[in-house]
Structure formats: structure tokens, C-alpha cells
């Protein structure tokens, strides 16, 4: 029974990464109608950004947590302005292909210079060590990841669903021409939204740097699972992606305990089941 609690908690930790990443995807899809396959590559760039800040500028983890999302977010906005904006109004497939291509190029460039086995990034001193919870030894850093990403997820949800800015955003997705007529700069708002989604990916990258290796393919391995999470939660649904992110982390954790061989596939089996029963995803509205 104790082992079960431990696995639940570990699942929650993985779930925080799924939630952060799928949240970014949901924001981008909901507002821009783009299936952002470059998300994994941008997540990886966040982790590399943290590494460079430390190695080249001596800026540690806490600085990276703020700077990396901004830097990568600006890169994302540049992508949106130069490439993605030309795809407005076209089929989803074009956005998917373009962002997939961008992901391959970015990963290829990083792999060319840094190889595939990754670079070490230490846990910040303040979060080193762990505490004994009785049923398991919880590394403090992992606890921090769960709490921090939960706060970020809820803050993003609040921003989009409960504030005036969020209302503008949602209105601009529904009817950009009308919102423009009210004197709101819709293209700029869309660029900033993409920047926000990308920034969330980079933030997840910084969070994961001390846990996983900082390596060029870290995002490519994760992105497929995260897409499954988004599909299960319902494309574009903010709360849906947060909840499914955490929930699937837990389910995956339990699978690792009861039948580890299936831990790679359980998410996809669930995806198939959900698509069969409710094709719009658990919280998605019919298109």
C-alpha cells in the first residue's frame, strides 16, 4: 500500500510536465488554431537556454526560470510573425507540417553541436535533498515542480478564462474582424498568445533540466505523449488539458507499478478509447 502512495505521487510529478506542456498546446490551438508540433523542440530550447545561462553568463536556476521562457517566447513570436501567420485560414494540416518541420530543423541543429547524450544541469542548492514522508523519500525538487506547475497552470487558466484580456483573446478567435472593429490589434494579440504558449513550454524545459538530461531529443520523446494528453482532454480546452495532464501522469505511474512493460503505451490505449466513445475529448465541445 505504501508503494502505491509513492507511485501516485511520482505520477503527479510527471503529470505536472504533461499539464504544463499540454496547456501551452491548448492555448495555442484554442487561440491560433495551430497544432504546434514544434512544442517539444521549444521545450528543449528552454532547457538548453537554462544550461547556457549557467555556463556562459553564470545565471543560475532562479534567473533561468524567468529569462529562459522570455527568450524562447521571443523566438516563438519571431516564428509566428515570419512563418506561421501566413497559414491563417488554411487547413490544420499545413500548420502541423510547418511546425513539425521547424521542430526537426531545431532538433537537428542542436544535435549537430551537442550530440545526443545530453548535458548535466544541477539541482539548485535551495531545493537539494529530500524529506521522508513515511511511505517514500520525496526529493524536494520534485515536490517543488508539482506545486510550481500547478500554480502556473491555474494562473494561465485564470488569465484566459476570467480576465478582460482573456475575453478579448477568446473573442478574437471567434470573430477577428469584429474585434478589430473595436480598435484592438488582433494580429499583435495572436503573436503574444503564441509567445505565451511557447514560454510555457520553455518553462517546463527549465523545470525538467535538473531531472532529465538536457539533450536535443528530450522534447521529441515527450511531445507524442503530450499530444495524446491534449486529444484526450479535448483540443483547445484549457482546464481539460490541465486536469488530463495530471490524471494521465498518475495513470502512467500506476501502470509502471502494476505492469511496467505497458507504461509506454497506456496513454495511447486511453486515447483510442476516448476517441471511440467521445471523439471531441473528455472536456471538448463539439466543433
Residues that bind another protein (CB under 8 A): 2-3, 6-7, 10-11, 13-14, 111-120, 122-123, 130, 136-137, 139, 141-142, 211-213, 215, 217-218, 221-222, 253, 256-257, 260-261, 263-264
Name residue, grid cell 497552470: 153
CB of 116 to another protein, least distance (A): 4
CA distance 249 to 243: 10
Which of 120, 183 has the CB closer to another protein? 120
Which of 245, 284 has the CB closer to another protein? 245
CA distance 110 to 84: 22
C-alpha cell at 129: 535533498
Helix (H, G, I), strand (E, B) or coil at 227: helix
Which of 113, 276 has the CB closer to another protein? 113
CB of 13 to another protein, least distance (A): 7
Which of 94, 114 has the CB closer to another protein? 114
CB of 76 to another protein, least distance (A): 23
CB of 143 to another protein, least distance (A): 11
Burial (0-12, 13-18, 19+ Cβ within 10 Å), 148: middle
CA distance 216 to 108: 8
CA distance 226 to 76: 19
Vertex 41: Cα angle to 39 and 47 (nearest 5): 105
CA distance 91 to 59: 42
Which of 108, 279 has the CB closer to another protein? 108
CB of 219 to another protein, least distance (A): 10
Amino acid at each position: 500500500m505504501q508503494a502505491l502512495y509513492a507511485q501516485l505521487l511520482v505520477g503527479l510529478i510527471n503529470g505536472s510536465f504533461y499539464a504544463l506542456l499540454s496547456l501551452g498546446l491548448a492555448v495555442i490551438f484554442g487561440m491560433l488554431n495551430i497544432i504546434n508540433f514544434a512544442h517539444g523542440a521549444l521545450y528543449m530550447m528552454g532547457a538548453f537556454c537554462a544550461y547556457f545561462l549557467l555556463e556562459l553568463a553564470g545565471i543560475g536556476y532562479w534567473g533561468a526560470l524567468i529569462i529562459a521562457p522570455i527568450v524562447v517566447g521571443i523566438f516563438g513570436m519571431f516564428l509566428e510573425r515570419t512563418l506561421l501567420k501566413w497559414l491563417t485560414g488554411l487547413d490544420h494540416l499545413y500548420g502541423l507540417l510547418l511546425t513539425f518541420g521547424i521542430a526537426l530543423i531545431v532538433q537537428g541543429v542542436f544535435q549537430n553541436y551537442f550530440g545526443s547524450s545530453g548535458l548535466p544541469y544541477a539541482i539548485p542548492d535551495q531545493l537539494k535533498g529530500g524529506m521522508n514522508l513515511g511511505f517514500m523519500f520525496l526529493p524536494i525538487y520534485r515536490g517543488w515542480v508539482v506545486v510550481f506547475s500547478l500554480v502556473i497552470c491555474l494562473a494561465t487558466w485564470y488569465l484566459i478564462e476570467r480576465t478582460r484580456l482573456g475575453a478579448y483573446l477568446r473573442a478574437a478567435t471567434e470573430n477577428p474582424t469584429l474585434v478589430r472593429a473595436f480598435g484592438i490589434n488582433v494580429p499583435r494579440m495572436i503573436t503574444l498568445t503564441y509567445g505565451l504558449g511557447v514560454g510555457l513550454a520553455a518553462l517546463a524545459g527549465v523545470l525538467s533540466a535538473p531531472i532529465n538530461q538536457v539533450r536535443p531529443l528530450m522534447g521529441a520523446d515527450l511531445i507524442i505523449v503530450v499530444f495524446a494528453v491534449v486529444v484526450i482532454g479535448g483540443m483547445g480546452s484549457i482546464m481539460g488539458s490541465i486536469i488530463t495532464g495530471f490524471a494521465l501522469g498518475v495513470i502512467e505511474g500506476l501502470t509502471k507499478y502494476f505492469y511496467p512493460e505497458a507504461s509506454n503505451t497506456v496513454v495511447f490505449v486511453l486515447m483510442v478509447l476516448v476517441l471511440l466513445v467521445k471523439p471531441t475529448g473528455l472536456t471538448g465541445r463539439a466543433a
